[in-house]
Structure 1
Amino acid sequence: MSVREKIQNFESLTLIPEAAFSKNSLGRKIREDDDEIRTCYMLDRDRIIQSKSFRRLKHKTQVYIKTFGDHYRTRLTHTLEVSQVARNIGVGIGLNENLIEAIALGHDLGHVAFAHNGEEVLNEYLKDGFRHNEQSVRVVTKLENNGLGLNLTEEVINGILNHSGLGTIKDIITLEGIVVKYSDKMAYLNHDIDDSIRAGLLSIEQIPKEIVKVLGDNSNQRLNTLIKDFVKTSNENLMNGIRVVGLSKEINEAMIELRQFMFKNIYLGDTLKVERNKAKFILEQLIKHFEENPNQMPEIYLRIAENEDLQRAVADYIAGMSDDYCLSLFNKIFVPKVVID
């Protein structure tokens, strides 16, 4: 018996019947031989961590553009916090932790530089629009590994595709994917409040008192409330034969209200408007430059331009850039250099 088979047997002993068992995976688009040690979801997790797109997350903005403080979140630390929250929930319910981790680590690979500002620019640029969850799937299926993709399992790809927003969960094929969808919101709401307070742009007193009363007045309290409620509510549903995981009505409504508060006051508020406009200007100039000079893009994007179209290729190239790389490229292309005779 291989190590992988032992792990799969352990899954059958420890996970709830509604969990996604690795031995029953829907598989990959291109069939592969089983790994001797790792289950399919463990292999997916490792491929994501080893990808270039994952490494670039460390220099992609979460909310605050080009913040030099060491303690502000980046897209990478956000991803790790989502994984932490989701795994805690998954273990509490009895779901497949390896599948949860793979989805969580891959969910934001398609995010653009300069936080949601970059997404807005590309959404206006592409004729069919741009959504970072769809771009994350494009990264793992078409862009990574020099265009070959990572050949991930269907369950991981589905979880990545459907993680965004607070809308319907009917298209998510695993409970693990639903856990990551909720955990994404739990993580970013809490750490973005922390970062906003650290930046002096928000005070705890500004958060509506009815939300504080339900969720708590600091990050630890809020996360504890959300995680414990999710586990408790989900376990009660499952024990009663209801295949639903999620938050109780009261806690879910409080989280939605907190999300609306953050969008109004921080994400889309006037506080960061000047910096958002600067970021959009940089991205718009780079898009225009590479549309006019496509041969300056790497070979993989020239192939995309040939096989799909130039607009798609430019969008893929821009979407993969980190904040630092965008700034460096902008300076190289547009900022005059000092010439000494």
Structure 2
Amino acid sequence: MPEEESSFRSCFQRDRDRIIHASAFRRLKHKTQVFVEHEGDSYRTRLTHSIEVAQVARTIAGALGLNPELTEAVALAHDLGHTPFGHTGEDALHEIMQPYGGFDHNAQAIRIVTRLERHYAEFDGCNLTWETLEGIAKHNGPVEGALPWALAECNAAFDLELYTHASAEAQVAALSDDIAYNNHDLLDGLRAELFSDEDIQRLPIVGDCYAEVDRKYPGLDPYRRRHEALRRVFGVMVSDVIDTSRALIAGSGAQSVEEIRHLGYPVIQFSTGLWAQLKEIRAFLFSRMYRAPSVMTVRAEVSKVVEDLFPIYLGDPKQMPARWHADIEEAEDETALARIVSDYIAGMTDRFALQDHARLTGRPIPADHSTPI
């Protein structure tokens, strides 16, 4: 809805600020990135990941002459819709929600900023600009085929032109996500001792960065050596995106954001060579970290938390806090009620979901794991 313009900040700065002050953003500090929140103080959470993505995105946007506030707003909001336990929780909730339209964390982020944040007197959500909503919805590219129900609902109200690419700013946010997790998952995996420095030195990009550090700082303390090498990996990815994207933007001939949206391809990209190398790094992380046998055991356990909580709340929704009761009473059918329950569970932090599961089932999930999810 229209709002009076601020005398001291742009509309995109306002969007960014409202995202930072959102309850859903604060809850990211206790939501899994790769490791369960209670596993250690130094591992990334969804909150620290989002801050790192925003930092990378703002740097790239500035180098390319794009709008840094819009870029930062999309980057900070991109993971707002994540469930407890990261993608494991999302997979479990999506499976449970199949009879009711499924679950998608990107669509849930849109639902949060348009409906579920309820702090303002004049509107639900955060009343973000169209450009920020568009960026959250399709920063990974055009959304085709059957839409997640939450995104379809939002699109009916705002027409986000889902068939086109997003702005260059939103595209920057998407690649900054790739840059951030390809780098910090290596560091967190090393910290968890799922693999060694010697293991990752066999990877493209990474090995060259370790070799450069060894040449410049022979005999460096192992932990400083690791940090110096991986920050160079960061630099390689960022520089590659800036150089490649600058050439793509210039070569496109696009003179407006509308032309960027309708080019039919993204203008923010890695070079072909670096993208192939990143695929190799990603495959290593998938096999050695995301799908390690010990990890799969933990995935099954925390999936059970979501699987147990959903039917309890669906069968007795008044178990949910009082502020949800008005929505429950307005639910017209089981599908509407299931979607409210999904909203509630998706908003839980790791620790709250574990505590609530123990309270309602009397069967606490073991909390002494040191493996990622």
TM over 0.5: same fold?
yes
Find out whether 1:140 has 2:163 as its counterpart: no
Identify the match of residue 169 of structure 2 among 176, 194, 197.
Answer: 176
Matched residues in 2 for 1:105 and 1:93: separation? 19
Q: Is the 8 A contact 1:301 1:314 kept in 2?
A: no
**What's the counterpart of residue 101 of structure 1?**
72
Matched residues in 2 for 1:160 and 1:281: separation? 29
Identify the match of residue 246 of structure 2 among 232, 235, 238.
Answer: 235
Q: Is the 8 A contact 2:53 2:173 kept in 1?
A: yes
- RMSD between aligned residues: 2.5
TM-superposed deviation, 1:61: 1.1
Which amino acid in the other structure matches residue 48 of structure 1? I
Matched residues in 2 for 1:170 and 1:89: separation? 25
TM-superposed deviation, 1:68: 3.5
Find out whether 1:196 has 2:219 as its counterpart: no
Which amino acid in the other structure matches residue 320 of structure 1? G
Which amino acid in the other structure matches residue 346 of structure 2? A
**What's the counterpart of residue 62 of structure 2?**
91
Q: Is the 8 A contact 2:31 2:84 kept in 1?
A: yes
Q: Is the 8 A contact 2:141 2:165 kept in 1?
A: no
**What's the counterpart of residue 327 of structure 1?**
354
Q: Is the 8 A contact 2:139 2:173 kept in 1?
A: yes
**What's the counterpart of residue 269 of structure 2?**
246
SS in 1 for 2:205: helix
**What's the counterpart of residue 260 of structure 1?**
283
SS in 1 for 2:269: coil
TM-superposed deviation, 1:332: 2.0
Find out whether 1:224 has 2:235 as its counterpart: yes
Report the TM-score, using the length of structure 2 for normalisation: 0.76
Q: Is the 8 A contact 1:215 1:254 kept in 2?
A: no
Q: 1:166 to 1:62 in 2, by over 3 A?
A: farther
Question: More deviation in 266-275 or 188-197?
Answer: 266-275
Which amino acid in the other structure matches residue 320 of structure 2? M
Matched residues in 2 for 1:102 and 1:266: separation? 30
Matched residues in 1 for 2:306 and 2:8: separation? 44
Listed as ranges, the gaps of 5+ residues in structure 1 are: 1-29
Matched residues in 2 for 1:108 and 1:288: separation? 25
**What's the counterpart of residue 151 of structure 1?**
127
Report the TM-score, using the length of structure 1 for normalisation: 0.83
Find out whether 1:162 has 2:138 as its counterpart: yes
Q: Is the 8 A contact 1:104 1:180 kept in 2?
A: yes
Q: 1:184 to 1:245 in 2, by over 3 A?
A: same
Question: More deviation in 128-137 or 230-239?
Answer: 230-239
Matched residues in 2 for 1:206 and 1:165: separation? 33
Matched residues in 1 for 2:208 and 2:73: separation? 28
After superposition, give the CA deviation of every residue in 1:27-52 in whole Å (9 maximum; x if it has no partner): xxx12121121111000011111110
Question: More deviation in 199-208 or 227-236?
Answer: 199-208
Question: More deviation in 239-248 or 60-69?
Answer: 239-248
**What's the counterpart of residue 57 of structure 1?**
28
**What's the counterpart of residue 94 of structure 2?**
123
**What's the counterpart of residue 316 of structure 1?**
343
Which amino acid in the other structure matches residue 85 of structure 2? F
**What's the counterpart of residue 367 of structure 2?**
none
SS in 2 for 1:145: coil
Q: Is the 8 A contact 2:80 2:112 kept in 1?
A: yes
TM-superposed deviation, 1:201: 0.8
Matched residues in 2 for 1:166 and 1:113: separation? 27
Q: 1:259 to 1:302 in 2, by over 3 A?
A: farther
TM-superposed deviation, 1:181: 0.5
TM-superposed deviation, 1:166: 11
SS in 2 for 1:34: coil
Matched residues in 1 for 2:322 and 2:12: separation? 31
Which amino acid in the other structure matches residue 324 of structure 1? R
Which amino acid in the other structure matches residue 126 of structure 2? L
SS in 2 for 1:186: helix
How many residues align? The count is 308
Matched residues in 1 for 2:173 and 2:74: separation? 7
Q: Superposed, which structure 2 residues align to 1:30-69 within 5 Å?
A: 30-69=1-40
SS in 2 for 1:321: coil
Q: Is the 8 A contact 1:110 1:139 kept in 2?
A: yes
Listed as ranges, the gaps of 5+ residues in structure 2 are: 145-161, 211-228, 255-266, 365-373
Higher relative contact order (CA 8 A, sep 6+): 2
**What's the counterpart of residue 114 of structure 1?**
85
Q: 1:196 to 1:336 in 2, by over 3 A?
A: closer
TM-superposed deviation, 1:216: 3.7
Q: Is the 8 A contact 2:357 2:363 kept in 1?
A: no
Matched residues in 2 for 1:166 and 1:107: separation? 15
Matched residues in 2 for 1:111 and 1:288: separation? 20
